[in-house]
Structure 1
Amino acid sequence: MKLSKKTFLYSIGISVLLIGLIVIYFVTMLPSLYVDYMKKENLKSVVEVEKGYMKNHSYEGLKVQNPTGSATLEIPMSGNVLYVAGMGFHADITVKDENLVQFIGQVRECFQDIKDMDKEDFEVIDWNLLKDGISQGEVLNQQSPIDMKVEVNQDAEVFRKDGTGKTHVVGDDIFVFEGGVSDESNQYTTYIAMGKSADSLVISFLPVMTPQMKEIKPIVLGSVPMIAAVLFLIVMICSQYFSRKIVNPVIRLAHYAQEVRTAGNLEVTPFEIREKDEIGELGRSLNELYTRIRENYEELEKKNELLRKENKRQEVFLRASSHQLKTPVTAALLLVDGMIQEVGKYQDTKTYLPQVKAQLQSMRRIVEDILYLNHCTEHLQMEPVDMELLMDDVISSYAVQVEAKQLSSEKKTVPCKLVSDRELLKKILDNLVSNAVSYTPPGGRIFLEVCEDRVRILNEGAHIEEEMLPHVYEPFVSGNTREKGKGLGLYVSAYYCEVLGYQLHIENVQMDVKEDTSEGVLTILRFH
């Protein structure tokens, strides 16, 4: 997922979470806080009314929470006259019934010391006296237990209209009038419903206190610090989690880059990618980049190794030139000087000119080895080569040497073709056959086998010292101790085998040919 989409979903998620928490708060906690707040306000209001009336013995100047339902009963500590007052009236009540007088006396006794009151003090009040004193049907007749004198305060402006009158028609038979009034601190709504039945007109009254914003506003304002703290904490936790989801992969990438930078050969474990956003794409790009750098590094190391080998080969060329050419050149110069000055036996030019020629041919051979060793291997001419014809061509060039040493050869060939560089392959085979002819004793035997995957050359009577076997592919090492230090043939062959991807192996073997057991040297050239 892209970072932009991830950030967008994070914003939506945190918004939904916060809205949900606010809704839960307003649904579960706010009502209880409102109820508790209103209880405290009502308690505060009744205490203020009580204190104000106790001071002035009237409602004049008092702020009442509900003027329509508020009233105060004043019981003097002596006598049988009671006083009832409200926002718009004042009444004097004279108690005549003995039961009620006795009941009032018990109330006075109960509230004698308010500071030390407890629940048990109410047990002294006989509530049956009140029940007996006010019996049903006796309050309004001539034998009434009380006399009541009510005065209405004409100057008290308790309510005023607030202009919120409305009418509602409910169905076909009910009409509702909604009218609003208010005092200094509250608003009230009175509903008058009128309905007509089949035989009467029904009118219902319902006065209620209108809810006001000022009642809920303190609750909300009081909750703001807690809501802000909770929301801030939630936002911090969510932001911390979200930032870690983004920052941690970046830190891992930085550590991975540091690990790659300090790795000498760039051999490091690929970066583990778990993200599918831009950071994941960056990680994959870094993996690809470091993989490519490592491949280039390995390729460069291979080229450096080839350059080291090439430098070694160039050093061999110089040593070969100085070492191999010095001996035949010196010998040829001595022979030529002797013949020019006609010194002693060198007067016989017919005898010593062929020796000069032989020395020159030796130099030519060395030069050819060096030139072939410098053959440009970057432009190999790969082509199908008939191995049987190529081997016959190489063997025929040594017919004179074979005849002079009275050697016998046995050849076993299988018709096959090999895709290779003809000149390099011929040089390899020529050096191997030359060694076989050179190091086979006079009258010895040479066995040759040509297959699709290898060439085997076994020369009877030859032997290579065991300690010299590991070094026969090095320059200036010969399998004959008497000629040690004069050979480049196997070094050239080993180099060309490496170029062509072939394998060259030489070992001493025990030969058992025609019930005759002798030693021999086996040379194997493998193509695959």
Structure 2
Amino acid sequence: MTLRRKTFLYSILLTIIIGALFLGYILIMLPDLYVADTQEQFIKDIKKVHLTYIEEGNYKNITPLNYASTISIDFYKNEDRVTINSKAINYDVNIQTEEQRQMLANIRSYFNGLVNNDKKEFNYKIQDIFFALTDSFTHWTPESKQVFLNQFQSTGYIDTTNDEFPSEEINTDFFQIDDKTIIISSTARIGDEHYVSNIGFTNNTDRYIMTIAPQMQPSTRQILPVTIRSLPMVAAVLILVVLIGSLFFAQNIVRPIVNLSNQTEALKYKNIESDQSVDVTGTMEIEELAENLNRLYQTQQSQFRQLKQMGERQRIFLQSSSHQLKTPLAAALMLTDGMIHKIGKYKDTETYLLELKQQLRKMETLISTILSTNHLTETDEPVLVDIAELAQRLLEEREALFEQRQMEWQIEGAASRIVESTILTYILENLIDNAINHGKPQSTLTLRISDQIIQLENSNASIDEELLPYVFEPFVTGEDGGHGMGLYLVRYYATLIQADVNIENLDNSVLVTITFQN
């Protein structure tokens, strides 16, 4: 199955899962959340209206949710006066009759008693205030009632016999705003309908201020049909959005991956030494993948070149070895034939048997050196090596040779590193032996050791400038003879432990520098 097809199927599955969760959320959670949010908005509205009215004293800059029914009443403490304000009305009522004054006194008494009472008692007191208002108004004489109504320039009645709101079905919440202001939210349920009365009450220095905002709260039963009717459109939009997102994903993610796959497939048929890189395009992750592939190809090319160079060196080494073996082998055969046939001076077999043995020894040494090139790398593992301690041991083992050559040695510095111990030992042994073999009397071999560099300086010595560029080639020898393999193997083994070796002539000495690459 292609990546595009998989992406399409995953998108469909994702659409089904997300759609089921979203639609379930709409059907189960959203109506209740909407009702709760509406109630919260009612509380915020009464708080804003009430506090703004206290600050400004009018509804000029107030726009309540319930535009027509929200009203604020000021009951003055030291005046026979009541003010009524809303968005539509602004009444200032002056109390004229004794009955009205008594009613206002009762209201003040209730309000005054509310200050130190608990919330439950406060709820009952609020109800008592409304009942007192209605009771006082109901029992007025027709003349008093008409006078009161005339002050409002309106007519109407208050029915105190309606018992549609039994107290056990009223749920009241209290919200303390500050030490003077409290918000009361009472919800009454009749059947499936919910009626909310939000009241803000403030005990100011000169008056009691009450803001009343009745609301009808929507119920879940009312919201659910609307929600169900909107489900087809919601599902269609959801599917469309997910499919568009899937298409966008396929264009921006799948296509770069397919392009990257095609490019890597084409690289299989290219020469490894040719340019092997992929285009770095796509998202950040695709770009990172492409860059990692390019780095991988670069590493492979570098390793291939190293292997190619190593193979070329081994080829040259074997050719040179074969050539070097021919000379002692031809000499040995010539001596053997001469002694077998008793030709001329070769009749003296005792003398020429010794020379034959020397030629065989040369071949043995050369063959042992060739075989050792693989032996060290097969058996050695990296360990922590104290280089100064290793050098000290190797120099002390050759103390007799130093005395014989009338030479001295010294070590400067110290360092430890993780390296193949056998290979490093072989390198130092060859360099020390070379210094002894080519050293002059009264000269000094100095080893300087640091974290990244090992230097061997042999004083009172030099290398022929014409020979210097070729000292690391196999079978290159100086005036002192030798088989010409020592420095070649030193450089060969140095590459195995990620080190470079360099030889140079100084004013009156030869300096060998081993530099570790890491």
- Indicate the TM-score class for this superposition, using the shorter chain for normalisation: 0.3 to 0.5
Q: Which has the larger radius of gyration?
A: 1
TM-score using structure 1 length? 0.42
TM-score using structure 2 length? 0.43
- Which fold has the larger relative contact order, with Cα–Cα distance below 8 Å and residues 6 or more apart in sequence? 2
